[in-house]
Amino acid sequence: MPSRRVVALALLPVLASGALVGCGDDQGEDPVAHADVTAAGSAVRLVDRSEADLVLHVSNQSFDDERVGLEIAVDGVTVVDDDFHVGSQHNWVSFSLSLPSGAHEVTAESDSGATLRERFRVLDGTTRYAVIDHWGAGDSAELTWLFQRGPVAFD
């Protein structure tokens, strides 16, 4: 019996991560980081969370727009340009980014016409956390921004 217990414990993180990522039935594929942030020489790079200066969470929160295309850039470097599915709304996709210390600008645009432009600062040796959510009702769409020093409650 000990071997079954070991297998069950080994599978627990795999099963848990699948349950947290896809809460909805028509979730679609998870958005992936753009090639710009995976390039070795980029000033804004995708890194392991333990090395991140900014952990950016992105989600589609609109049941009226079950799939929305979002393009998000930091300092002109595209982080993601992909479709986000609303699912059950509990489906943030995280991008752990390395940035130079100092002032930065994030821009976001949805294929539903919503835009966002915000400025923020990161400091050496600290991690900051941000959330961009797409919301929509009827013909109205908006992108919201949250920036903070500590991890986001759902993280």
Give pLDDT tens digits for 110-127. 999 999 999 999 999 999
The predicted-structure confidence for 39-88, as pLDDT tens digits, reads as follows 989 999 999 999 999 999 999 999 888 999 999 999 999 999 999 999 88
Q: Does residue 55 lie within any of the structural domains?
A: yes
Instruction: For residue 78, give its domain range.
Output: 2-148
Calpha distance 77→118 (Å, rounded): 14
Q: Does residue 108 lie within any of the structural domains?
A: yes
- According to the model, what pLDDT value does residue 138 have? 76
98-102 long-range contacts, Cβ below 8 Å, gap at least 24? 98/44, 98/45, 98/46, 98/47, 98/51, 98/52, 98/53, 99/43, 99/44, 99/53, 99/54, 99/74, 99/75, 100/43, 101/53
Q: Does residue 72 lie within any of the structural domains?
A: yes
Q: Does residue 153 lie within any of the structural domains?
A: no
Q: Does residue 155 lie within any of the structural domains?
A: no
Residue 139 has pLDDT above 60, yes or no: yes
- According to the model, what pLDDT value does residue 27 have? 63
Give the total number of structural domains in the chain.
1
Q: Does residue 82 lie within any of the structural domains?
A: yes
The mean per-residue pLDDT over the stretch 115-143 comes to: 94
How many CB atoms sit inside 10 A of residue 73's CB? 19
pTM above 0.85, yes or no: no
Structure tokens at 73: 């850039």
Q: Does residue 37 lie within any of the structural domains?
A: yes
- According to the model, what pLDDT value does residue 17 have? 32
DSSP-assigned letters across all residues of 34-81: -GGGGSTT-SSEE--GGG-SEEEEEEE--TTSSEEEEEEEETTEEEEE
Structure tokens at 94: 């995280």
The mean per-residue pLDDT over the stretch 29-41 comes to: 91
Residue 18 has pLDDT above 80, yes or no: no
Q: Does residue 131 lie within any of the structural domains?
A: yes
DSSP-assigned letter for residue 152: -
